[in-house]
Structure 1
Amino acid sequence: MNFLSHYYFDRYNTNSYEVLGSILPDLLKNADKSSNIFPEKHQDKFKQPHEVAILKGWKKHLDVDKLFHNASFFLEHQHQLKLKIKETLKDTPIKPFFAGHIAIELILDHLLLKHQKIDATKLYLHLNTVSKNHIIDFLNLNNVPEQEQFFKFFEMFKKEQYLKSYIDVANVSYALKRIFMRIWPNPLHTEQENKLTQVLIDYIFDIEEKFIIIFDEIERQLLDD
């Protein structure tokens, strides 16, 4: 599940530290793909209100990810997208399963913006509200090395606000290509990129009326826990 989809479950939350925590696992991974911390296993370390709030958001992220990746909606549409993308990815190193997984996550972010289910500006306001020193406290408690690299990415993430661009399908396709390029250098030629964009456009049309089902389902499950 991508940043905006995670934020959906905190769209009414007024605690900026909890909101940060809810996307911090992905922020850390984007800054450094080798990042691997488990604050939920050492909860007694976190004493200060900001530390507890970030941890609460972090744990919610884990819960939402688990529910999302086991949801029938995700499993079905990841598979269907894999089948539709497969021919376009022929003769490339990109795995259709991986492409389908990432594509459905990006599509859901796009649809949340398009149908005004979330306000991305509010997410960035939350991120700009939190204190850098408080984030450092949390990272230090988790023995996170190379914090300079993280904060360089975090500042760029806040400044560029590229998540807002996902309202345009072309930018969703571009984001998908950029994710591929983190693993494989220049895996797609222009014709393949255009075909991939068209697959996404067609698939968005197919699920536009029912995409909110997965968010409603997860929200109910979170309330039940």
Structure 2
Amino acid sequence: MNFLSHFYFERNNQDENMVIGTVLPDLVKNAHKDWNLYPQKSPELFTTDPKLNSLLTGWKRHLEVDLLFHSSTFFFTETAKLKQLLLPILGDSPVRPSFLAHIGVELVLDHLLVTHHKIDINAFYEHLNNVDDKVLNTFLKKCGSEDTDKFFAFLNSFRSSRYLLSYQKLENISYALQRICMRLWVHPFHETTVSLLNEQLEIYKVMLEQNYLSIFDEIEGKL
């Protein structure tokens, strides 16, 4: 799941450390794609400090939600649906249809949460702004991170740009998918493909809109 879908499960949580913990694995990967952190394997490093422990609790919640989501019938069914819509437009694109469908489902879920007012993006950013960066830096150092300056450069840009506000418009989901693919492939799409991608996402959004909350209800019932 993506940032806003993870936030959905903490939408009523007032602990900013736990909230950022639930999205921290994705923030880390965006800042440092080669970082592989496993704080859950050494909980004794964090449990004596309440703020560090909240970050760890959020981190573990992220892993639990992702596991439940990626093993669900919903995930397999919906990625298969979107993949079939994407196959005709990819042509000779190097992008794997299964990869694009996987990320596409997650981003459309974020979009639907926003457009149906199930979450407040500004509240999400307020939590991010309230986190003590010194505590966050200590957490990352205890995880074995060294170049935390690069992480905070990304985090500060993420906070100030409020990029997730763009998810209110579906065409920005197409743009986000293109940017993600550009991290893996130099020329992922032809110019016309982006327009076609938006058209297919519009079709898929209408399909998903009917039952998108079912996966959130299912996961919430298991947490």
TM-score normalised per structure 1: 0.97
Instruction: Identify the residue that residue 43 of structure 1 maps to in structure 2.
Output: 43
The alignment of Structure 1 onto Structure 2 pairs a total of residues equal to 222
Distance (whole Å) between structure 2 residues aligned to residue 211 and residue 45 of structure 1:
38
1:108 equivalent to 2:109? Answer yes
Displacement of 1:143 after TM fit? Answer: 1.2
Displacement of 1:56 after TM fit? Answer: 0.4
Give the match's secondary structure for 1:87: helix
Instruction: Identify the residue that residue 138 of structure 1 maps to in structure 2.
Output: 139
Instruction: Identify the residue that residue 6 of structure 1 maps to in structure 2.
Output: 6
Displacement of 1:209 after TM fit? Answer: 2.0
Distance (whole Å) between structure 1 residues aligned to residue 10 and residue 156 of structure 2:
21
* Unmatched tracts of structure 1, length 5 or more: none
Give the match's secondary structure for 2:222: helix
What are the residue-to-residue correspondences of 1:30-179 with 2, within 5 Å? 30-46=30-46, 47-179=48-180
- 1:159-201, CA deviations, whole angstroms, 9 ceiling, x for partnerless residues? 0111111010000000000001011112212211111100000
* Unmatched tracts of structure 2, length 5 or more: none
Give the match's secondary structure for 1:217: helix
TM-score normalised per structure 2: 0.98
Give the match's secondary structure for 1:88: helix
User: AA paired with 1:210?
Assistant: N
Distance (whole Å) between structure 1 residues aligned to residue 203 and residue 20 of structure 2:
33
Displacement of 1:58 after TM fit? Answer: 0.3
User: AA paired with 1:221?
Assistant: K
Distance (whole Å) between structure 1 residues aligned to residue 78 and residue 5 of structure 2:
16
Instruction: Identify the residue that residue 22 of structure 2 maps to in structure 1.
Output: 22
Identity of aligned residues (%): 43
Give the match's secondary structure for 1:183: coil
Distance (whole Å) between structure 1 residues aligned to residue 174 and residue 185 of structure 2:
16
Instruction: Identify the residue that residue 194 of structure 2 maps to in structure 1.
Output: 193
Displacement of 1:132 after TM fit? Answer: 0.8
Distance (whole Å) between structure 1 residues aligned to residue 192 and residue 119 of structure 2:
33
Q: CA RMSD in A?
A: 0.7
Distance (whole Å) between structure 1 residues aligned to residue 77 and residue 172 of structure 2:
24
Distance (whole Å) between structure 2 residues aligned to residue 206 and residue 11 of structure 1:
25
Distance (whole Å) between structure 1 residues aligned to residue 6 and residue 108 of structure 2:
13
Distance (whole Å) between structure 1 residues aligned to residue 209 and residue 152 of structure 2:
36
User: AA paired with 2:99?
Assistant: F
- 1:43-68, CA deviations, whole angstroms, 9 ceiling, x for partnerless residues? 01112111000000000000000000
Residues 186-195 or 125-134, more deviating: 186-195
